[in-house]
Amino acid sequence: MSAIHGAAPRRAAIAALLILTPLAGCTDGADGSVEAVSAVDVQPLVHLPAAEGADPTKPLTVTAEPGSRLTDVTVTGPDGRTVAGKLADDQRTWQSVGRLGAGTKYVIRVAADDGDGGRGETTGSLTTAAAPAKLSAELGPGSNGSGVYGVGQPLTVKLSQPVKDPAARQEVERSLKVLSEPAVTGSWYWVDDSNLHFRPKEYWPAHASIKLSFDRPGGRIADGLYAGDTVTRTIRTGDRVEVLIDAAAHYLTYRRNGEVLNSIPVTTGRPGYSTRNGIKVVLGQEADVRMRSESIGIAAGSPDSFDTDVKWATRVTWSGEYVHAAPWSVASQGVENVSHGCTGMSLANAKWFFDATRIGDVVQVVNSLGKPMEPFGNGFGDWNVAWAQWTKHSALGQTVNTAGRTEDAQSVGALLPQV
């Protein structure tokens, strides 16, 4: 519904005619336009039907009839954001320059005068055609039950379909928002056509509030493809936990907020099964897990095969690398490397480590004979990519400052223990 209100000092009516385009479906005018004409009295109301099915790829135009001029045009989307537009020099035409969303209802407020002292205002609405195809996003990390993660946790986005075109990838990045308190400098990295990771230049600050959103519903990504519904993920970080495993010294050093809390004798992968060097991120924890050699390509019944129940296992790669209890190798811990690639320690030390660690904490291995940790595909090796290289894999080729309020993170964080 729309209305135009008018008052004319010298006339009983306002002569301004407002034509809103593009409009499709429900119209009044013979030429397909919607017209609002002032009534005779000083408080007239003219109802305008809502338009349906407008092409979101075309600009919205508001035009005044000859002799009238537009004094103000405001087009607002359902999220309260205003569509940018430009008023012509003669004030007879206003045209949007910001993109319209597909399947989106806009409220249009127009003020005009008739050039003879009469003024009026009208409010209309326009709903664009539905998107032919929608791109949705699954945001990570997934829920770990507490919402608190280590400072090494990357943010992840999995798209519902591949996006290959560079311009379309830029639109995806424009649809993604990262806010944090305190703010950091970060950047997106396209892992492949369907997956993006976001990380700061350095680790996240301890006790930070972080909010990730895919937030441009109906926004154009590419021809025929538009952004789907808004989704948001809110997390917090805990203490800054950094674990250093020196495979040559056979010791693990555990630091919390820069302070060494424990130094634990360990054994890592023996020759032929050497532990990967590099920075890894804790992926999950299992108090009891059965480990079989077949999972890492060692045939059952072969001299190196194993089938073992393992306690207090902290996973750092999807291929099966853990930090876990290894009571069978206590004599070698702190002395030599005898495992199949995992980091083993005593039962008591493994329980302490398990309790002191959470998903997203940083575990770095140095001085091993193993290969470097993979950046992607086997866990989160994101931190092994140099920052200069990381930023080159952003479609926009730029860094992101995450300054901004994260009210959702604050409200969730208020209910969480400060660990």
Which residues are known to be catalytic? 324, 342
Q: Contact, 261 vs 267, CB < 8 A?
A: no
Length of the chain, in residues: 419
Token code pair at residue 31: 């030429």
Q: Which DSSP string do the residues of 56-124 spell out, in sequence order?
A: TTS--EEEEPTT-EEEEEEEE-TTSPBPPEEE-TTSSEEEE-SPPPTT-EEEEEEEEE-SSS-EEEEEE
Strand-strand pairing, 241-246 and 251-256: antiparallel
Q: Contact, 110 vs 125, CB < 8 A?
A: no
* Alpha helices, DSSP H, located in 273-383: 347-356
Q: Contact, 153 vs 359, CB < 8 A?
A: yes
Between CA 311 and CA 397 the distance in angstroms is 45
Distance of CA 366 to the CA centre of its chain: 32
Strand-strand pairing, 231-237 and 148-149: parallel
- 176-215 in b/e form (b: 16+ CB < 10 A) is bbbbbbebbebbbbbbeebbbbbbbeebbbbbbbbbbbbb
Closest to 56 (Cα-Cα) out of 217, 253, 188, 286: 217
Q: Contact, 281 vs 245, CB < 8 A?
A: no
Strand-strand pairing, 195-200 and 185-190: antiparallel
Quickly count: other Cβ atoms within 10 Å of residue 223's Cβ. Answer: 10
Between the alpha carbon of residue 418 and those of residues 209, 237, 337, 395, 415, the distances in Å are 12, 9, 37, 36, 9
Q: Contact, 129 vs 160, CB < 8 A?
A: no
**Amino acid at site 16:** A
**Residues 413, 414, 416, 419: is their CA dihedral positive or negative?**
positive
**Amino acid at site 248:** A
